[in-house]
Amino acid sequence: MRGFLTSSPGAPSTAVASIGVACAAALALPLLSLPAPARPFEARAPGGTRSLPLAPLTRERVLGTAPEQGLYRPNGEHFSLVGVVWDDPDVELHGQVQVRTRSATTRKWSGWQDVETHNADHGADPGTAERDARRVRGATAPLWVGDSDGVDVRVRGVGGGARGGRSVGGGARGGRTVEPEPPLPHGLRLELVDPGEEAPPEGAPADAPRTGLHTDAARAASTANMDLAGFGVLRIPALGRRATERELARLAGPVGAKPYIGPRPRIVTRRGWGADESLRERGFVYTKKVKAAFVHHTASGNKYTCAQAPSVIRSIYRYHVTSMGWRDLGYNFLVDKCGTIYEGRAGGVAKAVLGAHTRGFNSDSMGIAVIGSYGATKPPGAAVTAVARLTAWKLGLYGADPRGKTYLTSGGGNLYPKGKNVRLNVISGHRDGFATECPGKRLYAKLGTARSSAARYQGR
């Protein structure tokens, strides 16, 4: 077993009653038997997080006059994802974060890679219990680096003139003064995340350690999807159009007019990607309905294979909960570069689960994150198609037209004040609700295609 320090997310929260699609059976239901495994099942390594404080760099490693902190650890535990966190979530990191890592396989060091520093655009809405929890921290985006055992990180404040400041206009003589650069956030720490080994194989026993259903939290996560599939399934199967329409009638009651809903896509459940349900807070929080979908990218880089996607998701999940202090994974769904759809935040894929994806607009919406960075890289067609299929189905459950507009009330952010009623596309990019580069200009440019395709899948 790998030697990692693992932290707990804190005390459980009180469950909030579901509004919208009705919850399925209670936890008292007996465990349903699963097929016997084709091969002996061995418990996987659980994964973990190592949190290391950064310190001022020595003179020979400082690049300029700006404040700089870092860490060089050539021999450490295995990890596959990195990020930097700090104490105050309301403080932004003005500067540059770069890392290089040593491959645990080849023992070679990578080149320096940039880590996306602006991550305040994600998260729970201001004033909510999740956002105001004392353990919530500021953070960079996570970066997937693959199986590594050495790390070198440097965090540099924005550089300026000879004093490390920035020039600003003004002054009685019409000249320019030098204003000190904002300091680096207090409490900078490097997070090294080990996702653990692969998710459970088909036929894994229901009571298998860490991957099974032996805890209340694991049973609750699986029970939340029992209105769609059997208890403990790894994947919710796809349905054809007629079967999806019958399912809609069963979930929402008799449908008076022709239902506009896309065929249900195949979705890998949390158990399917290997979620450790002991990390998140207990209970689920729901919003009233799903009126809009916000599309994101994870900004975690594109150096992953589709077979590694479950590991990437386990890492982001651990980073969101253990490192950043959120109650659960922030996104409601994730999509990999091959178009596979994954359940994100627990509570039921058909239900209006309140996420932490678009600060200010989490209520009455869902967040879909395409795994990767799509500022300069074109998103794969399979991923865009998956977004269209997922939105056609999920928005269809709530009667929303993917090509339409809707109104959402802002919970507070850097674009719209709290309480403002904002008209948005039913399928919007993250940047439509918050001043951010997310989901990257190349993915954002594909949202028109996603809207028209989703409407076609709905039969509009």
pLDDT at residue 243 in the model: 95
Tokens of 348: 């039921």
**Any idea where the domains of the chain sit in the sequence?**
48-158+185-194, 216-457
Cβ proximity of 125 and 363 under 8 Å = yes
Euclidean distance between CA atoms 309 and 200, whole angstroms: 14
Tokens of 360: 């200010």
Residue 2, number of CB atoms within 10 A of its CB: 14
Euclidean distance between CA atoms 159 and 94, whole angstroms: 10
pLDDT at residue 221 in the model: 96
pLDDT at residue 70 in the model: 95
pLDDT at residue 120 in the model: 65
Tokens of 299: 């900004």
Cβ proximity of 76 and 192 under 8 Å = yes
Q: Please choose, from the candidates 132, 135, 40, 41, the residue with its C-alpha nearest in 3D space to the C-alpha of residue 86.
A: 135
In order of 58, 143, 179, 284, 460, the CA distances from 161 in angstroms are 21, 31, 10, 50, 58
Kindly calculate the radius of gyration of the chain based on its CA atoms and give it in whole angstroms. Answer: 23
Cβ proximity of 70 and 57 under 8 Å = yes
CA dihedral for 84, 86, 88, 91, sign (positive or negative)? negative
Reported in sequence order, the residue ranges of 170-207 that DSSP labels E, i.e. its strands, are: 176-180, 189-194
Q: Which CATH number fits domain 216-457: 3.40.80.10, 3.20.10.10, 3.40.630.30, 3.30.420.310?
A: 3.40.80.10
DSSP structural state of residue 322? I
| pLDDT profile of the chain (460 residues), mean per 10 | 34 35 34 35 68 86 71 90 95 94 96 87 83 90 97 84 39 50 89 85 63 85 95 96 92 75 97 95 95 97 96 98 96 98 98 94 96 97 98 96 96 86 97 92 98 97
pLDDT at residue 41 in the model: 34
Counting every residue written for the chain, the total comes to 460
Q: Please choose, from the candidates 365, 271, 346, 322, the residue with its C-alpha nearest in 3D space to the C-alpha of residue 142.
A: 322
Cβ proximity of 271 and 233 under 8 Å = yes
pLDDT at residue 267 in the model: 98
Euclidean distance between CA atoms 371 and 335, whole angstroms: 6
pLDDT at residue 331 in the model: 97
Written out in words, the top-level CATH class of the domain with range 48-158+185-194 is mainly beta
Q: Please choose, from the candidates 286, 373, 282, the residue with its C-alpha nearest in 3D space to the C-alpha of residue 328.
A: 282
- With b meaning 16 or more CB within 10 Å and e meaning fewer, what string describes 42-71? eebbbbbbbebebeebeeeebeeebbbbbb
pTM metric for this prediction: 0.84
3-state secondary structure of 61: helix
